[in-house]
Amino acid sequence: GSMAWDDAKALIGKRQQATKDIENRLAAMGQGGASAIAATYGEMDDVRGRMMLAHALGMIQDNQAGPLLLALLDSETSLSLQREIIDALAQRHDADTAVLLAQIAGEASDSRLRFAAVQGLAGREDGFTALQQLMQTETDPEVQKAIVQAVSGVHTGAAQNLLASIAQGSMDSAIRKSAIQALARSFGSGALSVFQQLLTDPDPGIRENAVTAVAQVHNEQAAALLQRTALSDASDRVRQKAQSALAGAQAQ
């Protein structure tokens, strides 16, 4: 007969827990264990098994795990497993992890792998220089947006300056808007002077995004900027956006 859904879920849960237990045991091998895990990966045909071994390499306390994961990535042909390997590498905090992720982000031919590597660099101060360089060379819009999001997790003055330069620069408007949103989310009132400049941008879509960013800053300067925009912007849509933001602030 057929299995009840509750029983199926319980079976899946047991299998997932068993897999996690094996991963933890493999990771507990410590220094010297990564080579054995990587060798087993090459001998295994089962996708689920390879995934489990990649996860173990992401957790093991062995400084050879990072380079070995990169070697496995180079030899792997399955896109889903390649992404699992990159995710495992991103879990590591060895000194060379950011370097390896930056190498993948800069060299992988598939934009989906570059995207995954950039996500692995998110919020890592040791990866900021790489992210800054990648922004100058990356051409895929989705990966560019991922770089912006990764930079927004680095809460430094240099990260804020990079986001400001992207927001005020000449890139595609979608990337600029992403940078404005990242500035508002990560730096708030500290980026108000940037938002003020963006309120005079020739692109009404950029000005509209700047209004949204200013509306998230609750001080007198922000209120004055919204008031001025609501009265004088050339775009009906931008004026209405500013008026709505003012009305919302007054209702709070």
pLDDT at 1: 56
Which residues are CB-contacts of 31 (< 8 A; sequence separation ≥ 6)?
61, 62, 63
Taking CA atoms, 61 is separated from 18, 28, 54, 117, in Å, by 21, 8, 14, 21
Sign (positive or negative) of CA dihedral 135, 180, 126, 76: negative
Q: State which amino acid sits at residue 148.
A: V
Q: Are the CB atoms for 64 and 41 separated by under 8 Å?
A: no
Q: What's the Cα-to-Cα distance from 58 to each of 66, 68, 176, rounded to whole Å?
A: 8, 10, 34
Residue 6 — very low, low, confident or very high, per pLDDT cuts 50/70/90? confident
Is the entire prediction scored with pTM above 0.95? no
| Mean pLDDT (whole number) for 126-153 | 96
On the question of pLDDT at 8 being above 60, the answer is yes
How far CA 96 is from CA of 60, 76, 101, 173, in Å, comes to 15, 21, 9, 34
The pLDDT of residue 5: 75
- Tell me the pLDDT tens digit for each residue of 220-242: 999 999 999 999 999 999 999 99
- pLDDT tier for residue 19 given thresholds of 50, 70 and 90: confident
pLDDT in tens, 190-202: 999 999 999 999 9
